[in-house]
Amino acid sequence: MNIRPAQTLDIPILVNFWQSIDSITPYRPFGGDSDDKPDHAERVLQHTISSENAIVLVASSPECEIIGTISGHVFDKPGVNLAKVGVIYSLWVDEEYRCQGVGQQLLTDLESALAEKSAKAFQVGWDTGNTTAELWWQKRGYAPYETIASKNVI
Contact (CB, 8 A) for 29 and 152: yes
Domains of the chain: 2-139 (3.40.630.30)
Contact (CB, 8 A) for 56 and 48: yes
pLDDT for 82 equals 62
d(Cα 46, Cα 41) in Å, to the nearest integer? 8
Phi, psi of 49 (to 5 degrees): -65, -35
Contact (CB, 8 A) for 66 and 60: yes
d(Cα 111, Cα 108) in Å, to the nearest integer? 5
pLDDT for 154 equals 66
**Tens digit of pLDDT per residue, the chain (154 long)?**
899 999 999 999 998 887 776 666 555 544 455 556 778 788 889 989 999 999 999 999 999 899 999 999 998 866 666 678 899 988 999 989 999 999 999 999 999 999 999 999 899 988 778 888 899 999 999 988 877 777 767 6
pLDDT for 29 equals 47
Entry pTM: 0.84
DSSP assignment of the chain, as one string?
Answer: -EEEE--GGGHHHHHHHHHHHHHH----TT---GGGHHHHHHHHHHHHHH-TTEEEEEEE-TT--EEEEEEEEEEE-TTSSS-EEEEEEEEEE-GGGTTTTHHHHHHHHHHHHHHHTT--EEEE---TT-HHHHHHHHHTT-------------
d(Cα 108, Cα 124) in Å, to the nearest integer? 14
Contact (CB, 8 A) for 97 and 82: no
